[in-house]
Amino acid sequence: MLKADLSGKKALVTGASSGIGKAIASLLAECGATVAVNHLQEDVRGPATVEALNTRGFQALSAPGDVSSVDSAESMVSNAIDGLVGLDILINNAGTAATTEPIPFENLEMITEERWQQIIHTNVIGPFRCSRMAASTLKERKGCIVNTASIAGIGNAGSSIAYSNSKAAIISQTRCLARALAPEIRVNAVAPGLTRTAWTDPWNNEGKQVSIEASLLKRMVEPEDIAQGMLFLVVNPAITGQTIVIDNGRLPT
């Protein structure tokens, strides 16, 4: 397993109360970073994650806020930077599918205006808001940004047309911000395949098995797999503008 010495580094992870966000927040803390754990105000899993990390002897603080809201996102990032006294690593992980189970692409009626708005404001504009707010501090400290994309953004079927569009957009945003913020800030993304999370756990097992069988390694991606990929991008000084795929070698279906 990849480990690094991040002693003295300050990190903000959005959507860190469960799944991929919790895994990368925990890994960064284990590597010595002080981590701000972002979560929705009402999500009790966020403070529980912070308490668990601090109980283990790591350094973590709570950063409540909703990245889909401009005021909430901006104040959250500002408060996190103040609490951390700086920022070296921004993990833009918060996202939504705006559905409890996948919506077939041909079912256009279920892709409502409300779903579009929720997905785009959270998955696309939210990361941009956080990156924009953090940019000046990250530049001072020559930091980095890592975004959570998806294989749904590079041609594989996702949970809906809107979700797939949003992840294609975040891959484009990654390249654009890498250009805009260079050379001081590196910006990269990870594109997970089907990952075992609280969101995918209730899905139909038959549907998940199709994805597993389409992968070369015949397994689901674990949140810790994605965290390892993110840490790789955090510590490699020559990589920017890239999206790395972590999907167990899934073949097109």
- Any idea what the Cα angle at residue 19 is, between residues 15 and 22, rounded to 5°? 60
Task: For the beta carbon of residue 46, count every other beta carbon within 10 angstroms.
Answer: 24
- Per DSSP, 123 falls in state I
Residues with a catalytic annotation lie at: 163
CA nearest 128: which of 90, 83, 87?
90
Residue 77 Cα distances to 18, 56, 127, angstroms: 19, 25, 11
Tokens (6 digits) for 39 = 């979560």
Helices 45-55 and 19-30: crossing angle in degrees, nearest 10, is 20
Other beta carbons within 10 Å of 208:
15
H/E stretch holding 16: none
Distance, in Å, from the CA atom of 62 to the CA atom of 49, rounded to the nearest integer, reads 9
Q: How many CB atoms lie within 10 A of CB 230?
A: 28
The span from the CA of 87 to the CA of 225, in Å, is: 24
Helix spans in the chain (H)? 19-30, 45-55, 70-84, 113-120, 126-140, 161-181, 205-213, 223-235
**Amino acid identity at 210:** V
